[in-house]
Structure 1
Amino acid sequence: MNDKFELPPRRRLPDEIRQRMRTRVWEGLGEPDQRPRWTVTVRGRAPIAVAAAVVVLVAGGVTLLQSVQGGGGQPTAGGQATTTRPSQQLGPLLVPGVAQSAVDKCQAVAFAQTTPGDYAEPDRWRPRFSVSLPGREVAVFDAAGPVFCELTRTTVTVSPAVAAPQVLDVSAPASAARVTSLFQTANHTLAGTVDSQVTGLELGLANADGSNGVLGRAALMDGVFVANLPLSERGAAQGGRLLLSATTPTGTLTGSGPVPDGRVWQGTTVDVWPSGDSDPTSRRNQLDRCLDRALVNGLPGTDAEGWQPGARVGSAADQEGVLVAHRDDGQLVACALADQHGAELQLATRIFAPDRTANPDVPVTAVDLSWRFLTVWGAVGPRVARVELVGENTTATGEVVDGTFAVQLAGVTDAAGWETRNVLRAFDAAGNLLYEGTPVIRR
């Protein structure tokens, strides 16, 4: 009975089983108009409402993710009493020490971007601990005071050499709840110091009236904390509230206050491209940045492995561009481009996967309709060399790359019947028409 029990090796589900699971799940979701709506909040852009649940295959299981409240995270009409849900999960993983590769990257950024003497000499940087947060690592050093360094796959951000500390006003009744912010990034990292007698710290956000509050555990060691807190989603402009719960030897202290300004304490950020190409507008770098942000934002079902850039359309600064990415297992995602840089990853939740028995050249399509553009993207068969999107008054030629396509048409409104007024065409290299039909195919 004392023999060591070993788990069997982890194996990937066969593709045919994965596809069968997906098909069964989609069949159970019913017609598109009857499916629940899932809202994805995109930084700097309006929320995107996706008329489908998100299906994620995780370790051989199927997870359905959908929202349970109204869009936008705003309080419901009529007001609500203050409601705060305590954290039900383990906090961020904290590991004593900092990897040497992280030390090298952080110091390179710090000493390349500042006036000599602003930071303590490199040999005085004492690694304290590292914290794993979604899509990133945060290294903490003691260098004549705390120094924080956030590392994602494509960026390194170091806290200011001369910090502008701000005490977070949470109206707590004791000095033990005094929390000072020293470092805040666009990737939802908030770090700083707290009274040394605090043994546990939770931070969170709520609506202006205190409703929909959620607390999350911060990583804490010897009075220095690192937290994952998306301040930009419910910041001062939205009238959000910052929540705090601090555990001390004498009890738990709670409080709330205004959300701090998300534009300060940013530190110095440097791009670090895995591709080795320094051009941020290259397809590879746009995709890497897009995956980076998806991981940071905890977008379900995404990882950074195996994705290759495909077709791209609307990459000019004045357009709502899309970069399609594909993987060997047939999965597709799209990157929404803003200012020619990778913005956010969109899960392909409403892709039309046709039966190609009769015509193998029927495209697999997804559609995005904004107030300015109709964008159609997806996958095409190996014979397709060119795609066109034909509107009422104009025709747009798209791009075909590695079995993916993207095409964009300006001036399309969302008036009733727009699906039938716009036609998608696919051609071979000789110009022969292989497919002609509506870009949205109702099932």
Structure 2
Amino acid sequence: MIEIPKISIVIPSLNSIKYIHECIDSVLNQTLQDIEIICVDAGSTDGTLEVLREYEKKDKRLKVILSDKKSYGYQMNLGIKKTKGEYLGIVESDDYIKKNMYEDLYNIAKKTKCDIVKGDMLDFWDKEERIYKYRLLNWTENLYGKILNFNVDNRILTECNVINPSGIHKLDFIKKYNILCNETPGSAFQDAGFWFQLQVLAKSIFLIKEAYYYYRQDNVNSSCNSRAKVYCICDEYDFIRNFALKCNIKQALPIIAYLRYGGYNWNLHRIGNEYKQEFLQKMAKDFKQIQDDKEFDSSLFHAIQLEILNDIINNPNAYYYKITNKPLGAVNKIKNQLSYKLGLAIVKNKTILDFIRLPIRFINILLSHYFEKKVKNIIYKIQPELKPKPIEEYADYYEALKVKKHLSYKIGQELINHPFAFIFKIYAIYKEYKKDARNNIY
């Protein structure tokens, strides 16, 4: 007879050597010993895989699986397919758990007969000493100690954190509905789609106001700290919406729109400044479509949220300038540079007559440019406070950087730097520009 462990714990990993010992030790040392541990490594090169292999030799409860893709969702799905336990537990490889976590959660699950049992978390940072901050799973504190069901009370979606590892989840329910993570590349918020499926499909959920899970906040390699992962959050909410449509859970669509707003707003404050303006344009486009599709319910939003969202939809660029609290002017500064002026004069030529007149236009541009520069220098000496700020201190700084990639600027810069060889380089510059334009670099 095959023994069924009480809990199957899946631990996806990739280059977690700084944290892996604390993580694995905390799982192996659980007071509930009847567990299996499935470590799914995506080709670590820093020694993580070797450490896991050593643990595998010492404890028969731990098994190592190799993932051929660097995808959190793919790794999780590999692990889930190998599980044999009653309940699924998840531990991230840079986190750790209290010794009694799984014993307590398992006993409550058996007593309440719930599909999901979850506890709170302790966020932590390693500085000179370890700092902890309590994180409520349910920020309204109204849902603890009750048996919950989405079809009866959808607050499980609107009032709870998008967190999976702090709980256990009945595996026959997961496998019955084939609940899997979105398999996008990297570790890019695929836990949100998994969380949504669990909350919507579970017949019973029980929340405990006690923290068992230690959730690391200072791993620079985590998705939350990757400022260049701009649109992954959009893909995940598209995945969630598609799941709801496929399963005909149409009553969830306005809630998904509300959750998307929260996710997008969090993402906006997380990503690098150079991506914010473009992301706001994406946000405006997506929510216009949501409104057109009649999937928007304003009653779910606070008044201030609606005000912010309307500002973004109506004019994302104006909202961007508003939140940066900086003046405009960087684009004009670039367009006033001699490189751009000369290049624009060349690009604007359409006829042979235009090219014949080009030398005269160059002379006029040069005379005007240097006269203007001389006048400004005199003014700035008399009134230095009028001197413009550095370009990076303007709200449209990142727009200005794109202007530097325009054909006009590139051609003008080449003309100034290599006036005699310039004519032989025009075709190469144009060819490179067209290639970049096709790849949507600009």
Say which one has the larger Rg.
Answer: 2
TM-score above 0.5, yes or no: no
Q: Considering Cα pairs closer than 8 Å and 6+ residues apart, tell me whether 1 or 2 has the greater RCO.
A: 2
Q: Which structure has the highest strand share of the two?
A: 1
Decide which structure has greater helix share: 2
What TM-score comes out, normalization by structure 1 length? 0.28
Under a length normalisation based on structure 2, what TM-score does the superposition of the two structures give?
0.28
